[in-house]
Amino acid sequence: MSGDNDERGPGDGDPGFDADVAIVGGGPAGCAAGVFTARADLETVLFDRGPSSLRRCASLENYLGFPGAIDVDTFLSLAHEHAETAGCRLRDDLVESVASLDDGGFRLETQEGDPLTARFVIAATKYDGSYLRGLDDDDALFVTAEGDGETADRFDREYPDDDGRTPVDGCYVAGPLAGCGDQAIIAAGHGATVARALCRDLRREDGYWGRFADHYDWRRRAANLQAEWADPERWVDLFDRDAPDDLEADTIRRLAEEHTDDRLEQYVDADAADRRADRGQRRLAAALDDEVLLEAVDDAAVREYADRLDRDGSSDE
C-alpha cells in the first residue's frame, strides 16, 4: 500500500464490480473519504456534480492550516487534486439512484446514462439523499420536516450511526447528510472517520480484530523504526497472545505478516521524506497566483535562486 499516484495506479478492484467504493459528493466529506479509501488500495470513484453550499461561500476562513483564509475554488481544486493523487477516479456526473444488487453491492444510475457498480457506497452529499430511496424502507430513510409553512421529506440524519454505517450492508453516509454539522473542517473529518470505518469493517472480514482491525495510514521516518518491530516474528508473537481463541495458527501468522508488511511500507528514509516535503511545497505553490507568489518571496531569496541557476547552468556547459 502506498497511497501515492506516482508510485502506483488505482487498485484493480473487485472483479465483480466496476469499483470497490463509489462516493457520491465531491465536497470536503467526499474528498476526505476518497483519500482514505484510495490510500487503502480500494478502487474508488468520486462523483461530483450538483449544487454545493460551499461554493456559495465568499471564502473559507475557519479551515485549519489557512490562517489568511482560502477562496473556495482553490480549496475544492486542491481537495479534488488530493483525491486524484491518492488514487480516486473523479466523475463529473450526477447520481440519480442507488440500488442494491442481489448478490451484494450496488448499482448507481447516473444522469449521463453510464451506470456503475460498486461493492460499497458512501453518500456524502449535503442536502439531497433522494438517490438512496429504495435501499431500505423509505419510512426508515426519510422523515417529514416542516419549514416555511410547508412539509417535505428529508433524509433522516439519525439513520446512520456515528461512524456512518447504516442498516443497509455496504452503505455508509458521511458529512452533513449524516448530521455531523455544516462546517467544512468537521465534514472532512467525518468523511475520514467513515472511510476508516469502512476499512475497519473490511479488515474484520479478513480476520483482524480489535486494534488490529484499524487501517494504519501514517508516514514515519525510518530512523524512528525500532528494529525489533521490523521482525515479523515479534508481530506473530503479539498476535498469538492477543488472538481470539478460535483463530487457527496459520491464520494468525498470515495476518501478522500482512500487518508487518503494511507497517514497514509506511516508513521512509530521510531522503524520501525530504523529497515528499519538497513535492508537497511545490504542489501548494502551483495552486497560488503567480503575482501573489512573487510578492511573497523575499527579493534576496529571488536573487540567490537566480544566481544558483546561473551557476548550475554554467557548470553544465
CATH number, domain of 121, equals 3.50.50.60
Decide if 232 is inside a domain: no
Q: What pLDDT score was predicted for residue 314?
A: 57
Give a yes or no: residue 24 inside a domain.
yes
Domain count, the chain: 1
Q: For residues 286 and 298, what is the distance between their CA atoms, to the nearest angstrom?
A: 18
**Is the residue at 285 inside a domain?**
no
In a domain, 312, yes or no: no
The DSSP element (H or E) to which 84 belongs, if any, is helix 72-86
Intervals of the chain under pLDDT 50: 1-11, 315-317
Buried b / exposed e over 231-264, threshold 16 CB at 10 Å, is: ebeebbeebeeebeeeeeeeebbebbebbbeebe
264 belongs to a structural domain: no
Range of the domain at 100: 19-204
- Residue 165 is predicted with a pLDDT of 98
Looking at the chain, the number of H-run helices and the number of E-run strands are: 9, 11
Output the pLDDT for position 13.
Answer: 60
- Has residue 161 been placed in a domain? yes
List, for residues 133-172, the tens digit of each pLDDT value: 999 988 899 998 876 778 888 999 999 999 999 999 999 9
pLDDT of residue 311: 80
Does residue 168 belong to any structural domain of this protein? Answer: yes
Asked whether residue 313 is domain-assigned, the answer is no
